[in-house]
């Protein structure tokens, strides 16, 4: 990924936050039929290994878990907040007319080695943890115990676990860092007014950190 220095995420904590807030990753693999991509919700455990571990599950009918050899190198892409940026949002544009449209975004690329975990205990743990995390905001969180054991057992047999030992992470936050402070501030305010509060706040936070 091309990352100009002023857009680089330097802190691992920043990249982990993107993964945790936007856990649906694009798993990119290279098999006998060429490149493939699967969109999967991941769980990140930063305490395992040198850089952390990603865990997930795929449908047993999905050939990806059979096409990848043990320890195959893979890439997982996590997209954070993103939005189109109009040059009209920059006050300097109306003075110099030297601005063009662009797109602001946050993205993390995770490189690692994939292992297939076709074990009931592993898969059950992955599903249980994902459920607890994403049901936590519900008035009455769903849990596996809400369904009959035989139904859950059947569903677990239809999926396969995967684990990715992370070898490298790189992050890019393109948040108008190369623009004047007044332009960055007005673009952030405009995004928030349009309902893109996440990206707008990210832009404001970067401004505070650099000031």
pLDDT at 77: 98
Q: For 206, what's the count of Cα atoms within 13 Å in the CB-facing half-sphere? A: 27
CA gap 137, 133 in Å, rounded: 8
CA 185 vs CA 34, 39, 173, 174, 180: distances in Å:
44, 34, 16, 14, 9
**How crowded is the C-beta side of 137, counted as CA atoms within 13 Å?**
1
- pLDDT tens track for 91-144: 987 788 778 999 999 999 999 999 999 999 999 999 999 999 999 999 999 999
Helices 197-210 and 181-193, interaxial angle, to 10°?
A: 160
- Six token digits for residue 136: 């936590």
**Domains in the chain and their CATH numbers?**
5-85+102-178 (2.30.110.10)
Cβ atoms within 10 Å, residue 195: 9
Each residue of 141-184: pLDDT tens digit? 999 989 999 999 999 999 999 999 999 999 999 999 999 999 99
């Amino acid at each position: 990924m091309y990352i100009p220095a002023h857009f680089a995420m330097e802190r691992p904590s920043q990249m982990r936050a993107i993964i945790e807030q936007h856990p649906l990753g694009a798993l990119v693999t290279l098999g006998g039929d060429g490149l493939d991509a699967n969109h999967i919700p991941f769980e990140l455990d930063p305490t395992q290994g040198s850089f952390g571990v990603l865990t997930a599950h795929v449908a047993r009918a999905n050939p990806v878990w059979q096409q990848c050899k043990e320890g195959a190198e893979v890439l997982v892409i996590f997209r954070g907040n993103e939005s189109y940026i109009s040059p009209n949002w920059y006050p300097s544009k109306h003075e110099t007319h030297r601005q063009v449209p662009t797109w602001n975004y946050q993205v993390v690329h995770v490189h690692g080695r994939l292992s297939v975990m076709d074990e009931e205990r592993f898969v059950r743990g992955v599903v249980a943890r994902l459920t607890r995390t994403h049901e936590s905001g519900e008035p009455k969180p769903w849990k596996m115990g809400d369904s009959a054991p035989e139904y859950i057992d059947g569903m677990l047999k239809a999926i396969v676990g995967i684990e990715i030992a992370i070898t490298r992470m790189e992050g890019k936050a393109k948040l108008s860092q190369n623009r004047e402070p007044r332009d960055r501030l007005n673009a952030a305010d405009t995004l928030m007014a349009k309902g893109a509060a996440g990206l707008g706040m990210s832009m404001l936070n970067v401004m505070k950190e650099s000031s």
